[in-house]
Structures are given as structure tokens and as C-alpha cells.
Amino acid sequence: MIFLHLAGKYAVTALCIASLAACQATPPQKSTPTPTPTPTQPTTPDPQAALKNSDAFSPNALLPMFKQAQQVARIKNPLLNEISGMAFSKRSPGTLWVVNDSGNAATLFAIDTNGNTLAEWPVAAPNRDWEDLATTEHNGDAYLLIADIGDNLRIKNEHAIYVFREPESGDHMNIPLEPVSVIRFRYSDGKHNAESIASDGQSIFIASKVAATENGAAQSTLYSFPFTVDNSNRLTLVATPVAQLFAAEQSIEAKLVAALAGVDLNQPTAMDIDTQHEHAYVLSYRSVLHYARDDKQSWAEVFASEPTVIHNHRLAQAEALAVAANGTIWFSSEKQTPPLWVLPAN
């Protein structure tokens, strides 16, 4: 659950004022009057038909390359008002999987890159504190991981990651999705809050989200354990620390928010690994960070390196990020009709 529910909502909100440039209206041009066309009845999109149409999800059609950061849409479904996780489908490149934070129904949504809802499924797993999503490929199959890893009060002894085979076009949307595996884990060094998960198909990575203290900001720790879909072994796995994320210098705003609400604006709220292009990205309440990997580095070594800030944003509660098949980076926030932003591929 995000920090605004815990402390200082009024203080943080006052600091998080978005400033988008107003569009300049183009003056109307004089033209020869044309006959008024006969009105036609609009058609209602069929989510199942859209999911069945592979052409609708070609990367070239729905995932154009972008030259600069821009808001491309708003997510229109009123039920998606507290988005905490987002991931691109491995089977349908133009489909984004989206979930809400705790306090909402256990539902998986499929949306397109224009913010339209394509489908939604009830999920046969409790939404205790869903904080992120990841998609990955493992042994030739495409999987969706829902991360129930939030723990603001640091009181939970274990956490769960629900693993699903990605839904397909023929799946019935009124039948709850059943996980093929439930990965339960605990941290090797105590109890931690986290909002970020990523996978390279072999391992699962989780970045802790650390509250600011009277001594200032603290470093986030990257934890890891093997990714498996074998549910026969129901032992709780152990997430071990593999790296310390680089701690950025705090701005005046970040210091003020830390003092008023105990929140570090630089802490990770979402992340994703682009295995095809060997990049990784981390979202915070103020920035999008880029990590580049060379052939000799492990992902732990990549996340321990100093990242590049590729975008500073003003979204109040940015908590969802996903990388598309063509390398573009998409992110959004928790609010009603949240904006959908995209960054150029690196």
C-alpha cells in the first residue's frame, strides 16, 4: 500500500503538482462548406475479438517508436483507479496486463496502449497487497507473475508471488484464473516492504522500498531467488540480498517530503527487465532510471551500478512500469483515469 495512506498525504500531494504544457489551439481555416454526412451508429469494441486479432497487437501497429517522452493516453476504466502493477504481454505485444493495489478486487485487466480495456478476469488468489506485475518466459512458456509483496508496517513473515500462464483469447473471462504455481518466500535478513518485481526467466528479483528515517534516506536492497513453476515443493523460499541499489542525492523537495511524511521519493516503486535488449528500468516517485548490461555482467551487478536518469516526472503516485517488445518504456500512476506515459527505447 502506498505511503499516502500512512502519513502526510496532504503534505506530499501539495508537493506533487503536475505541469503539462497546454496544447495550442489551431485557428479554424476557411473552407468550402461540405454536405453533412449521415450519422452512423458507433460500434462497441468486442474485447474477445480484439484479443483474437493478432494484427491488432503487432508491435509495428500498436507500439511505434517515440522520439521523446510523452503522455499518449489515459486509462479510462473507472475500476482502474489504484494501479500498482503493469506488464506487457509476451504473447500479444500490444496488450498491457494491469492490476490494482490492495483494497480492490482480485482482478486482472487487459488494456491496449490507448488506455482502453480489452478484457478482465477474476483471479483465484487474494489481493492482500498486490504491488507489481511481471511477465517472463520460462522453458518456452509465457508466464504472468502477480507480486503480493507489500508490507508497509514490516509485520509479515512471508510473501507470495502468484504465477499464471498468460491468458489466451479463448479463455472465458467469467472463469477465475487459477495460478499454476504459488511461490511463497521470506527474506533472509528480516521483514521488508517492497513494490517492485522483475524476472529474467531464471530468477526473480525484488527491490525493497525503505522509508526515510531521522538520519535521512536509506539504500534499497535487491533480493533474488530462483524462478520455478514447480508447485510440488511447497517449502517457503528464501530471498537473499544480491545488490544495493545506488542511492541518488536527495533534492530539497525529497528532503522536505522525507521530513514531513517519512517517504523517500527516490525509492523504487516498480521495475522491469528487458532481456531482449539487455536493459533494466526502475521507477520512483520522481524518476525513471535506466541500467545497461554488458555480456559479462550478472543482473545483480547491473543493479549495483549507478543508473542513468532518463526522465524526471511529476506524477503524484507513479507505481507501475513496463517495457514493450520494441524497448519503449511505459509507466502510469495511482489515480482515477491515470495517465499513460511512454519513453523512447534506449
Report the chain (346 residues): mean pLDDT per 10 consecutive residues: 40 37 36 42 42 42 80 95 96 92 95 94 96 95 97 96 86 84 96 98 97 81 94 85 91 88 93 96 97 94 97 94 96 94 95
**In the chain, beta strands by DSSP E:** 70-74, 83-88, 96-100, 107-111, 117-122, 130-138, 141-148, 159-165, 181-187, 194-199, 203-208, 221-226, 237-244, 270-274, 279-283, 287-292, 308-312, 318-323, 329-333, 339-343
pLDDT at 184: 95
Residue 13: predicted pLDDT: 38
CA–CA distances in Å: residue 25 to residues 29, 73, 118: 12, 19, 32
How far is the C-alpha of 244 from the C-alpha of 342, rounded, in Å?
Answer: 27
Q: Provide the 3-class DSSP secondary structure of residue 287.
A: strand
Cα–Cα distance for residue pair 196/223, rounded to 1 Å: 11
pTM comes to 0.82
The pLDDT, as a whole number, for residue 169 is 59
Cell of 245: 541499489
| Euclidean distance between CA atoms 39 and 41, whole angstroms | 7
- The CATH fold assigned to 61-343 is Neuraminidase (2.120.10)
pLDDT score of 251: 86
